[in-house]
Chain A
């Protein structure tokens, strides 16, 4: 078997309350399946013959199976062979976690991820040193860059086939590690937000008066979500070693207020407190007494006075595929030339 590429496609991203409160997009299952089909033909065009996919039963697999049947009937040999991870399907984040772990064990060269920040976060928690390539299909998409998936597929294909050196093909990324005493250990890849809601409930965060603290691995004024707050204060690239901490206050109590697109379709005034750099490897203890920690845009962990909460920035924590670097290299070296 040649190089194996993993694909994790979350069929249930983009379904939270933000469709109601903020007109957030839906991405239809058929569109998700079509994205994967485009990626698959790009991989095959680069010589990748085998793909390992996360199984799901929300329709993606059915649509892809039908497309494969049609291609076979039309005698089109354009897809690699799909293998599915053998695991029970729970239609929860467990599927992503288990499938990613299985892909790591199977020795995948790269894992392609379809989802928003939440799905990417789940994959990063399990992928170890295997590089990931993100395709944005979620609601909050600060981490995966918007790009035609065919191009992502080509870049992954070239990297997986060893046509590009690792130093060009992959780059290191920062991560935030969250510890709540001994009881919880988690990560974020873009932002950690502390909000006053003290229950997880519907998960999404959309009420700025409840925002209290923000930690980001990078900040970019061009992206959506909590990291946009930091991005509009002080951009920090994904490659710089430090992150950013921003104190947030209810808007009416703040000295400085900033109009921020903190969720798709919601631009609201956020009260800004102190802005500080966050140095890698140095744990920051959370001062705020009780609330919920939202990881990459979703409430995940409730905590109170009795908890000791620390947040640590980790650099070079995981690798991503440098699509832009690979494609520019491919252009210079003529990698796509047909003999």
Chain B
């Protein structure tokens, strides 16, 4: 018997950790760079939520589509979008994933099945129904996953899409990343039905709640749901309960939080610490292995920031291109 108790082989565990760590360091670095005033516009950070995106995305292939949110950096990285292009995009450079035309809220890479971060809350749900429909017509076993927060869960688009996915039996998974806050407003105020399982059940969709700070809980539940969706088992709803380390956007003073909440989250609900503790205790991966990844990730983020700063800005000719395929 192997001494690995986890449902993924060691190299996959390392891959998952690398992704989560990359997301974390990407966001921690943006937090610093934003405060320096080097980054234009709005930036919403995913730090603290890494286990959700990664636990789900570890099951996906390029043919599977995701529709992300305004808090999309983590989804992008987990789905395989290149960090260097993302960083350049956030700096508004011509070398960015979207040539500087999208920015933080609109990073996309359709070749990787990443249908875009989205500045409109809940807008990804209808789109992913379309992705599910396309996969169903093609019969390629692809699935579509739409992410939204507890805030956007109250958008009509999400509710309409749950109904549509149910009646068309689409291979679509609705993932609410419940970090407890719709921008500054607590879920305890904004959700009338109180339980996402109840809400999903109202559409005839099975719902599951998992601890979104535990990579393995997300990974296992998502695996079962995704496998079923691929085989025609229809839509499902997954609630990942999690914490957001930073504010809604950078510059948010977060005075709506309880005293000590952020410190408590960092200390006890850090999905990276939890992952590290599990895999090292089981003796599958050593601290040294993980530290090595940490160093590599830090170096990569550092290089991506330096490159982004050096890269050229888009020019006037870029303003007018890419509006239409042909006009």
Contacts and interface: CB of A to CB of B under 8 A. Distances in A.
Interface of A: 11-12, 14-17, 19-21, 23, 26, 28-30, 57-60, 62, 91, 197-203, 289-290, 302, 304
Contacts of B193: 28-29, 59
A202 B240 CA distance: 11
The secondary structure that dominates the A interface is loop
Contact of A201 (B188, B220, B239): B220
B7 interface: yes
B287 interface: no
| Size range of the chain B interface in the assembly | 20 to 34
Contact of A202 (B224, B228, B241): B224
23 contacts: A12-B209, A15-B195, A15-B197, A19-B197, A19-B208, A20-B208, A20-B228, A26-B207, A28-B193, A28-B198, A29-B194, A58-B195, A59-B195, A62-B194, A197-B7, A198-B5, A198-B6, A199-B5, A199-B6, A199-B220, A201-B216, A202-B217, A302-B282
A15 B188 CA distance: 18
Contact of A19 (B5, B206, B217, B241): B206
Given A28-B201, A290-B5, A202 B210 contact: yes
Contacts of A58: 194-195
Given A28-B201, A199-B5, A304-B5, A11 B195 contact: yes
A29 B241 CA distance: 18
Contacts of A62: 194
B225 interface: yes
Given A29-B195, A289-B1, A19 B216 contact: no
Nearest to B210: A202
B172 interface: no
A59 B194 contact: yes
B166 to A, nearest CB: 14
Contacts of B207: 15, 19, 26
Contacts of A19: 197, 201, 206-208
User: Of residues A26, A60, A304, which shows the largest number of chain B Cβ atoms within 10 Å of its Cβ?
Assistant: A26
B219 interface: yes
B236 interface: yes
A20 B5 contact: no
Contact of B221 (A14, A17, A29, A57): A17
Nearest to B8: A199
Contact of B225 (A20, A23, A59, A304): A20
A203 B219 CA distance: 12
Given A15-B207, A26-B207, A201-B216, A21 B197 contact: no
A28 B282 CA distance: 38
Contacts of A23: 206
Nearest to A200: B216
Given A12-B209, A20-B225, A290-B5, A202 B188 contact: no
User: Of residues A23, A201, A203, which shows the largest number of chain B Cβ atoms within 10 Å of its Cβ?
Assistant: A201
Contacts of A200: 214, 216-217
Given A15-B208, A62-B194, A304-B5, A203 B201 contact: no
B206 to A, nearest CB: 4
Contacts of B228: 20-21
Contacts of A202: 208, 210, 217, 220-221, 224
Given A16-B208, A290-B5, A201 B219 contact: yes
Nearest to B281: A302
Nearest to B198: A28
Given A26-B197, A199-B5, A15 B209 contact: yes
B69 to A, nearest CB: 22
B194 A91 contact: no
A15 B196 CA distance: 9
B198 A29 contact: yes
A21 B228 CA distance: 9
User: Of residues B195, B198, B206, B225, which shows the largest number of chain A Cβ atoms within 10 Å of its Cβ?
Assistant: B195
A21 B217 contact: no
B209 A16 contact: yes
Interface in B260-286: 278, 282
A21 B207 CA distance: 10
A289 B1 CA distance: 10
B195 A203 contact: no
A199 B7 contact: yes
A30 B228 CA distance: 30
Contacts of B219: 201
B7 A201 contact: yes
Nearest to B207: A19
Q: Which 9 A-B pairs have the closest CB atoms?
A: A59-B194, A198-B5, A201-B220, A19-B206, A15-B209, A202-B220, A202-B221, A26-B201, A29-B194
A206 to B, nearest CB: 8
B6 A21 contact: no
Given A28-B193, A198-B6, A200-B214, 16 more contacts: A11-B195, A12-B195, A15-B207, A19-B208, A20-B206, A20-B224, A20-B228, A26-B198, A29-B193, A59-B193, A59-B195, A199-B278, A200-B216, A200-B217, A202-B210, A302-B282
